[in-house]
Amino acid sequence: MADFVTVTYGQTGASQSTNEYGMRSMQARVFDARNSQYLLVKAPPASGKSRALMFIGLDKLENQGIAKVIVAVPERSIGSSFKSTKLTDGGFFRDWLVDPKWNLTETAGASGKVAALKQFMTSQDEILVCTHATLRFAFEQLGASAFSSCLIAIDEFHHVSSDENSRLGDVVRALMEVDKAHIVAMTGSYFRGDAAPVLRPEDEARFNRVTYTYYEQLDGYKYLKTLGIGYHFYRGRYIDAINQILNSDLKTIVHIPHVRSAESTSDKYAEVDKIHDHLGEMLGKDEATGLYRVRRADGKVLKVADLVDDGPDRERVMQTLRRIESRDDVDIIIALGMAKEGFDWIWCEHALTVGYRGSLTEVIQIIGRATRDAPGKSHAQFTNLIAEPDASEERVTDAVNNMLKAIACSLLMEQVLAPNFKFKTRDDADELDGSAKETDITYTHGDSVIAIRGFAEPSTERTKQILESDLSDLTAAIFQDESVLRAAMNPSDYAPEVVNQVFIPKVIEHRYPDLTPQEVEEIRQAVVANGVFKSPSVVVEQQGDTKFVRMAERLINIDELDMDLIDSINPFQKAYEILSKSVTSEVLQTIHAAITSVSVSMTEQEAVSSWPRIQAFRKERGVAPSLVSPNPLERRLAEALAWLQAKKRERGRTSGGGQ
């Protein structure tokens, strides 16, 4: 199956080069914000967040009056990223040294770890590494005040949630309420498109944020040139179809579905055995490493790590994976819930995951397993193996909705894996000699800046902050909104004005309830403009002295570009085209049937937004849109007109009754 998105990178090597202190570009950017009490670092996997934290932590210990640094990671396998590291070799003033007894992720079991953390708090030592769970349990016993003058560094910060039931979120909120500790929050999930935000708006506003994009990271690699994102649909059982896409020539992490998911056979061990059978003949387990040895038909012996089996041998396998030094040390890793985030295997070329992934955060984390730079690795691949929706299923609507969300995730990747356009308010005034000002498009460092008539510049610091650091996060939330998804997959049924002026503002208002109507509108304009210009159909062209933008197969003079024009073009209209080219007609019919079966009620916002189009329709055709028209868009306009007429009659009756 063809990839939905394929991105080519520049291989500049810039993101891997270091400065005089041994810092890569991302780490230097973070270090510039080292004096922040609350710092949120949003950067992709393999960009060097763990070492960035080391630089920050040592500076706070040395120069900012911090007494202790506590690093919390979601699972023990990630703890090795924060082991003792010689930073002075690269030019930094101090090494990161962790006494083995204070790396609480190195030993299995939870017994005694909370007591160890409490002991560390009264010791003379400065650095400790533990899991999120250990921090939570110790915090419950010690309270927030005990962590005054400490730096609490939370890796994979997307595990925090503003939900009141989030225990890790409680820790963060309590620490910020006392306001004596420093917090460095790090996440490799560049987006936050899930239902519950990481932080409440008032808490998030207190963080200084450093953002390093996927494109900056991957374009600056030496070896990795392309990334492909694809979806493969199967019928029957996934375990019978996985051999079609599991290429044992590629270093691969396979994530099998959770045992309670619809895709699972409910026997995770049998599923692993079946994958072994697909790979070749089982030769047994290497007792020294814990890895299985499987011989392919051509005689090559594969080394397979099984992280699904949670028996006593898994600890030996984890130790083996921590000691990987060369490409030949392991070939295939089969996992269930592990190795999705923070797991560093630079040789991984293919991340293959089975089943619907409703969480965009999880999708990005899994993709990150394959996007490390390594010698000889020119291509990385993410594949999601998904069950085809079956029209005979009772819950076909739910199945289709899950699939659409998964596909929306893949479409969204282009928003961050390629340079974005930037926008500014256009000055419509001419030069003194009467010629037009050349403020249309400027190019700086590969970014395109387009001036748009009617485009609102940020009027507040809050708006500016969101546009500078959260635009991709917000786009993620918009792509996963059910109303927007439905409109994207049925572009003929929904006027672009409805998507741009009704559905998108609703998502913005829900995500940022603290914004004023003016701030919502400024952000809406930026989202819509960015969405339009990132459409695969949009190209900036120059013909003679005139610049054009090709939108929806229309060539438009940039001198005529304004927000009214942008609002009339659906920024997500290409989503349906991509889907229809990549999915069988039978599946496409099922999707259409499921979407059509979902009734969407008319809202006042949609009806009012449709009024200009109703007027244009009546002027062009000489008649009002018809409720029985075979054209679905005309029917929708007729429904909006009927709604408006009913409201007008209702107001008339109310007004008449009051006289």
Supply the pLDDT for residue 443. Answer: 42
Residue 659: pLDDT over 50: no
430, 437 contact by CB (below 8 A): yes
Q: In 10 A of CB 1, how many CB atoms? A: 12
- pLDDT tens readout for residues 516-571: 999 999 999 988 887 777 655 556 677 776 767 766 566 777 666 778 878 888 77
Supply the pLDDT for residue 144. Answer: 94
- pLDDT tens readout for residues 193-236: 455 666 777 787 888 888 887 778 888 788 988 888 888 888 88
Supply the pLDDT for residue 559. Answer: 66
Residue 127: pLDDT over 90: yes
Range in 253-262, 294-303, 488-497 the model is least confident about:
488-497
Confidence label for 658 from pLDDT (cuts 50, 70 and 90): very low
Supply the pLDDT for residue 475. Answer: 82
Nearest to 643 by CA among 609, 603, 615: 603
CATH architecture of the domain with residue range 223-387: 3-Layer(aba) Sandwich (3.40)
Supply the pLDDT for residue 74. Answer: 87
Indicate the angle between helix axes 461-469 and 471-479, nearest 10 degrees.
70
Supply the pLDDT for residue 304. Answer: 96
Supply the pLDDT for residue 490. Answer: 76
Q: Measure the CA–CA gap between 101 and 104, rounded to whole angstroms.
A: 7
Burial of 256 (0-12, 13-18, 19+ CB in 10 A): buried
Name, in order, each residue with C-beta under 8 angstroms of 537's C-beta and a sequence gap of 6 or more.
Answer: 550, 551, 552, 553, 573, 574
- SS3 readout for 47-103: CCHHHHHHHHHHHHHHHCCCCEEEEEECCHHHHHHHCCECCHHHCCCCCECCCHHHE
183, 154 contact by CB (below 8 A): yes
Report the pLDDT averaged over residues 618-623: 90
Q: Measure the CA–CA gap between 239 and 270, rounded to whole angstroms.
A: 10
* φ, ψ for residue 600, nearest 5 deg: -115, 115
Of 531 and 314, the structure prediction assigns the larger pLDDT to 314
Nearest to 280 by CA among 330, 246, 232: 246
- pLDDT tens readout for residues 421-466: 677 776 654 444 544 454 444 444 445 677 777 788 889 988 988 8
- pLDDT tens readout for residues 561-612: 778 878 888 777 667 777 777 777 777 777 776 776 555 567 888 889 989 9
Q: In 10 A of CB 379, how many CB atoms? A: 15
Supply the pLDDT for residue 190. Answer: 52
Confidence label for 329 from pLDDT (cuts 50, 70 and 90): very high
Distance of CA 196 to the CA centre of its chain: 14
Question: Tell me, which fold does domain 5-217 have in CATH?
Answer: Rossmann fold (3.40.50)
Q: Measure the CA–CA gap between 151 and 38, rounded to whole angstroms.
A: 10
CATH 3.40.50.300 residue ranges of the chain are: 5-217, 223-387
Supply the pLDDT for residue 444. Answer: 42
Name, in order, each residue with C-beta under 8 angstroms of 447's C-beta and a sequence gap of 6 or more.
Answer: 419, 420, 421, 422
